Chains A and B, each alone.
Chain A
Amino acid sequence: MAEKTNQRRKIVLVVDDEADIRKYLATALQEAGFKVLEAADGDEALIKVKENKPDLISLDLIMPRKSGVKFHRELLKNKDWAKIPIIIVTGHARDDLGRADLKELTMSGPGLYLEKPVNPKSYIVAVKKLLGEKVNESEETTLEKIKIQNEIKDLMEKADLNSLEKIKSLLKKNNDSKT
């Protein structure tokens, strides 16, 4: 975007094994004024990080050769890279394939996760927020909603009385923030 020209454009590395998804996320990011690098798996992503340290990494979990978690473990070995914020975009957040990996990533990193399919607006808001950029009020609520949605989905998994009670209070909070 034009107003960003006075400062360096931030770099986002999009890591996903599906070309269509890379294309989609990259387009959305470019539209929001970011410079985008792409990688199809963890190995490729590592090369890209070495070449040109990104400001943020958008990471898929399940990929051939090097998975998201393995790539992240490699990042943590380098003090400089360990600080790069990560946003996880996965379809495996709630199944046996991704659950453990996601837990490891959200526990060890500053990460936020989005579950596929993601819409471009909330994706960009999440990216901006992680980069500490200013987001306007409506964008703020979008992000808040994502967080609440994720939390509710997690609680739904358990579906015991306690969790349902929590869901209720979260929904109430959500409604309050709307008004």
Chain B
Amino acid sequence: MQAIKKNSRADKGDLDLRWIHQELFNQIPFNAAVIDRDFNIIEANQAFIRYFGRWKGKKCYEAYKKSNRPCAHCNAMEVFENGRSSVTDELGIDRRGRPAHYVVHIAPLRKKSSGKVDYVLEMSTDVTETKHWQKEYQILFDRVPCYISVIDRDYRITRANESFRENFGDFDHRYCYEVYKKRDKKCARCPAALTFRDGKTHKSEQVGLSRTGERTHYIVTTTPLSRGESKIEHVIEICTDITDLKKIEESMIEAERLAAVGETVAGLAHSIKNILMGLEGGMYIVSLGMKKDDRTRIAEGWEMLERNFKKTTQLVKDFLNFAKGQLPDLDLTDPNEIVAEIIELYKRNVAAKGIRLTAELDRSVKPAFLDRKGIHTCLTNLVSNAIDACNMSDAGDKFVKIKVGDENGTLIFEVIDNGCGIDCEIKKKIFTTFFTTKGGEGTGLGLLTTRKIINEHGGKIMVHSQKGQGARFRIELPRKRLELLYKKGREGK
């Protein structure tokens, strides 16, 4: 309305038009100001006042930047000179004195008569918030503890985060395979290639070379730099260095193996104690018989001596068996085949005892790197224990079942029975030493050997059982670990 008063000399038609112009000027969703060649603000809208404060009698730099001299580089001046509108990014100070990021669109204004630019119209809009977010995202992008890069369809890196730059140096449109693996052509199993093809996220484990040429293990995730577009121009590669984790995993396998050996030595002592006790008993009874001239006693004692002598032989045999082979001899083996062999082996034995022995095979389970003999021993031990457990039970319909399966990249063997079950006190101890609950029948090495073999495969064995309710022994062999051990074994050779 000020403008209408100011231009009161204008005629009526002109006045209406001016009023409309003034309204337009006020309503546009920008901070709008008109500047002359001497930086004077000669008109500004309400939004401008709300954002930069009062403008009357001020130079543009005073209003925008609260400065007392023109800016070193003035975009408005350029528009005055070349007559073309421009868009620039500016940093100023708002009317409350806070730093303000804004984008300015500068348009030239010409009086009809002359060709030169008399005024410029500056329309600015605040982007402080956006800038702030942008900055945060940039920091996030730079600082996440992964190497992030964006590659184009030629596998050239077009953008990379700080972690990447710090580790690999300037990427400068180098190829990703060059940076990560020091190769001169694309990798064979490239997850990015898959993403370019199907637009989906892919993940894989890769071995590369660090800047100093050391073997480095990565988990690589590739994902398209777009949402739902048909052709993918760029792919984001996110690499996490898992070299340290790999080392820990390897040393864990080693530690588990050593622990098993340590426990063995402790257990050996116990077995010997028991045999000594039997020998002591035998000697006592023999000498008692001799003292009393009692032939039955002598025979009894002698039998005891013989039995315990045999036990010593068996113990030594089992122990040697247990102690041999530090690394399993891994080869690609069909797990179903081993199970079928075990069934064949025990078929007759169980039939005579009235126990049903069955196998639940899974033909979709792929061959795995296994020590065929070792796994055979494990399953033999478990099955023979299960049969013993069934013999100790009074249940009517007794069964032993061997199961093969695959769960999330882990090969599973299970031996399930409905025999007498295992007391929880005993469950804690069965894998630890030369522990036996078969009276004088066992050496207590079966499950220990089984666990040792499984540990050497990088796997785990566990048991679920309750007294009187059968038992379920479960062997878990992560295929990744088997592959790792296989590779290690081959390097060793």
Contact = CB atoms under 8 A, between A and B. Distances in A.
Contacts of A96: 266, 432-433
Given A91-B270, A117-B276, A63 B437 contact: yes
Contact of B439 (A25, A27, A40): A40
Majority SS of interface residues in chain A?
loop
A62 B280 contact: no
Given A23-B304, A24-B284, A63-B437, A97 B277 contact: no
B425 A70 contact: yes
Nearest to A121: B284
A69 B284 CA distance: 29
B440 interface: yes
Contacts of B269: 95
A120 B284 contact: yes
A176 interface: no
Contacts of A92: 270
Interface in A1-54: 17-21, 23-25, 27-28, 31, 40
Nearest to A27: B285
Contacts of A166: none
A69 B426 contact: no
A66 interface: yes
B276 A18 contact: no
A91 B273 contact: yes
A118 interface: yes
B438 A64 contact: yes
A70 B467 CA distance: 13
Of A20, A28, A66, A91, most B-chain CB atoms within 10 Å:
A20
Interface in B374-419: 392
B213 to A, nearest CB: 47
A83 interface: no
Q: What is the interface residue range for chain B against chain A?
A: 20 to 34
Contacts of B186: none
B439 A17 contact: yes
Given A17-B439, A64-B438, A66-B423, A97 B280 contact: no
A116 B274 contact: yes
Q: What is the interface residue range for chain A against chain B?
A: 20 to 34
B66 interface: no
A17 B436 CA distance: 10
A18 B433 contact: no
A52 B423 CA distance: 26
Interface string A67-100: 1011000000000000000000001100111000
B299 interface: no
Nearest to A28: B284
A20 B281 contact: yes
B425 A27 contact: no
Contact of B426 (A21, A27, A64, A117): A64
B180 to A, nearest CB: 48
B370 to A, nearest CB: 31
B277 A21 contact: yes
A120 B267 CA distance: 25
B368 interface: no
B285 A24 contact: yes
A18 B278 contact: yes
B261 to A, nearest CB: 15
A95 B272 CA distance: 14
B485 interface: no
A117 B277 contact: yes
Interface in B273-315: 273-274, 276-282, 284-285, 288, 300, 304, 307-308
A91 to B, nearest CB: 4
A67 B423 contact: yes
Interface in B302-354: 304, 307-308
A108 interface: no
B423 A27 contact: no
Given A20-B440, A64-B437, 17 more contacts: A17-B439, A18-B439, A21-B277, A23-B281, A23-B304, A24-B277, A24-B304, A27-B284, A31-B288, A62-B426, A62-B435, A69-B425, A95-B433, A96-B432, A115-B273, A116-B274, A117-B279
Query: What are the nearest 9 A-B pairs in CB distance?
Result: A24-B281, A64-B437, A117-B277, A91-B273, A117-B276, A116-B277, A20-B278, A17-B439, A117-B280
9 contacts: A20-B304, A27-B288, A40-B439, A62-B426, A67-B426, A91-B270, A92-B270, A95-B266, A117-B277
Interface of A: 17-21, 23-25, 27-28, 31, 40, 62-67, 69-70, 91-92, 95-97, 115-120
